[in-house]
Amino acid sequence: MLIAGNWKMFKGPAEASAYCRVLREADLGGCAVVVCPPYVSLPETVQALAGTEIAVAAQNVHWAPEGAFTGEVSAPMLRELGVYGAIVGHSERRQFFGDTDLSVARRVRAALDHQLAVIACVGETEAEREAGETEAVLARQLEAIAEAAPEREELVVAYEPVWAIGTGRTATPALAQAAHAFIKTILDVPVLYGGSVKPENAAELAAQPDIDGALVGGASLDVASFATICREASGA
């Protein structure tokens, strides 16, 4: 069971360090745990969690190793910091910053080529679900990732129904399970659920046979909340 906390644009270096000092001592059950701070807080987070089993991942990565890409960060730069992996293709990157299936695939390939683990995000919007297009959308997104990643040892997929992110709405366990099962017909990799995961629903979601963990957003910003999710998901 893998639980990843996506801090989004929260926690600068000082706050990240303080959070991680508390997280080091928290009871996280039996889960594998990853935290994903903003770029500016990666060095402090890596340092604060050194010597623990808690991994640190970035929230995005560019496909080029270097170049004239103002505002971007490359996989070799992340490796130099001691970062374990990266989220790729989060719905907010697709919605607000122009990421496409092609650019997501290029980011996946670059990360894997530089020995970064990848959490590749897929998911449908509310309009796409209501139109009955969920499987078509997931298939399109997944096939681009699959083509970019013929070797998949370091690849994890996160299913995040866009309509459930930051809204407090959560896919029912049955709905999430159906989506995860479909994803695994295209990509045989672990699949995390992302979309308003919180302590109250973590155990029920994690109990589904094809849900292998969670990508947690807002509920990961508080150590006690995040630790509770980890324990609930692991059955501790």
CA distance 123 to 220: 20
Active site residue 151: no
Active site residue 92: no
Could you say which of 90, 124, 180, 232 is catalytic? 90
Pull the structure tokens for residue 117: 């683990």
Helix 101-113 / helix 134-148 crossing angle, nearest 10 deg: 40
For residue 8, the tally of other CB atoms under 10 A from its CB is 17
Could you say which of 92, 124, 160, 232 is catalytic? 160
CA distance 88 to 120: 5
Q: What is the mean pLDDT of residues 228-234?
A: 97
Given CA atoms 91, 146, 88, 107 in this order, what sign does their dihedral have?
negative
Give the mean pLDDT of the chain: 95
Could you give all domains of the chain from N- to C-terminal order, each with its CATH number? 2-234 (3.20.20.70)
The tens digit of pLDDT for each residue in 174-222 reads: 999 999 999 999 999 999 999 889 999 999 999 999 999 999 999 999 9
